[in-house]
A and B are shown apart, each in its own frame.
Chain A
Amino acid sequence: MKRDKWADFKRIIGDGDFESALCAVDEALASLQKKYGPALVSVMLFGSLARKSRTYNDIDLLLVTEESLGSTHQVTKELSQEIFGHLFWEHGELFSFLVYSKAQFEGLRGYLPLFDEVERDGVLLYGQDLFAETSG
């Protein structure tokens, strides 16, 4: 199955109802790349927005980094204060995110149901498509 890439996804989905979400994701990507640089391996969009549902509640992102970034509490606080809070105030979009190191991602593939969902519906926003690289 060919995976949508971000530029194709944006073209297919158009603006309209999704305009603020598309802007928020673009800004989130730019901020994440600036913050993590080459340590950011992959960013994928999944969940209801990736399925193009007009009734999406929030924007789900899967981030994979070269090394572990620390505890979930720390990462959540840091990203909320530096990136996602601002994006809510600017665009009215709420983000939920999961962060894994590449090693953690590889170790969990195959038995995490959420990854099945990302593999099926996910949109590659940035970096490597880790599902394509490890499948088959």
Chain B
Amino acid sequence: MAKTSLLKRQAEVYLRIAHRQLGMAEALLEKGFYEGAIFHCYHAFESACSAGVANRGQRVPLRHRAKFNKFRRLYPDLPFSAEFAALLAELYPKRERSLYADIEYGKIADPALEYSRQDAEETLARTQDMVGQIESLLRGHH
């Protein structure tokens, strides 16, 4: 199979992974695991970026920073670049905070208490929208 065709198929699989990650986020949100929902939002976003890179016939970098940068370079005129960059800048530190019990503000930051249902719902809605926009872009609907 030609390399380009293989990478196009990889892009489709990454889009499916992005949607499954969103599904996991939804399921965790419903169960009250808000930090888990946010964790999976980050990975849905990351998988959609992987799809974007593979869709352009490029190898997907393993390291996240390199992956996001490759996406940025491949889509310099992204019509929703401001929303994309703001969501990434927000999800990136939030993912870490969903995993670790750092000490701050004079108390231990318990990931279980870090995010409210409203925070998780809002983050999920914005991530769903972003994954949808990236998918539309890859399917040529933008």
Contact = CB atoms under 8 A, between A and B. Distances in A.
A114 interface: yes
B117 to A, nearest CB: 12
Contacts of B87: 80, 85
Contact of B89 (A73, A84, A108): A84
Interface residues of B, number: 31
Nearest to B64: A57
Interface string B75-100: 00000011011111110111011000
A112 B94 CA distance: 20
B36 to A, nearest CB: 16
Q: How large is the interface on A (under 10, 10 to 19, 20 to 34, 35 or more residues)?
A: 20 to 34
Contacts of A89: 72, 81-82, 84-85
A73 B87 CA distance: 13
B106 A108 contact: yes
B101 to A, nearest CB: 12
Interface in A42-70: 57-58, 68
Contacts of A120: none
Given A89-B72, A94-B68, A104 B106 contact: yes
Contact of B86 (A58, A80, A94): A80
Given A72-B97, A73-B115, A96 B92 contact: yes
A107 B106 contact: yes
A97 interface: yes
A109 B84 CA distance: 36
A37 B70 CA distance: 35
A97 to B, nearest CB: 7
Interface string B23-67: 000000000000000000000000000000000000000011100
B86 to A, nearest CB: 3
A98 interface: yes
B102 interface: yes
B106 A96 contact: no
Given A58-B92, A94-B65, A94-B92, A114 B102 contact: yes
Contacts of A111: 103
Given A72-B105, A87-B89, A104-B104, 11 more contacts: A73-B119, A77-B90, A85-B90, A86-B85, A86-B86, A89-B82, A92-B69, A96-B96, A98-B104, A108-B103, A108-B106
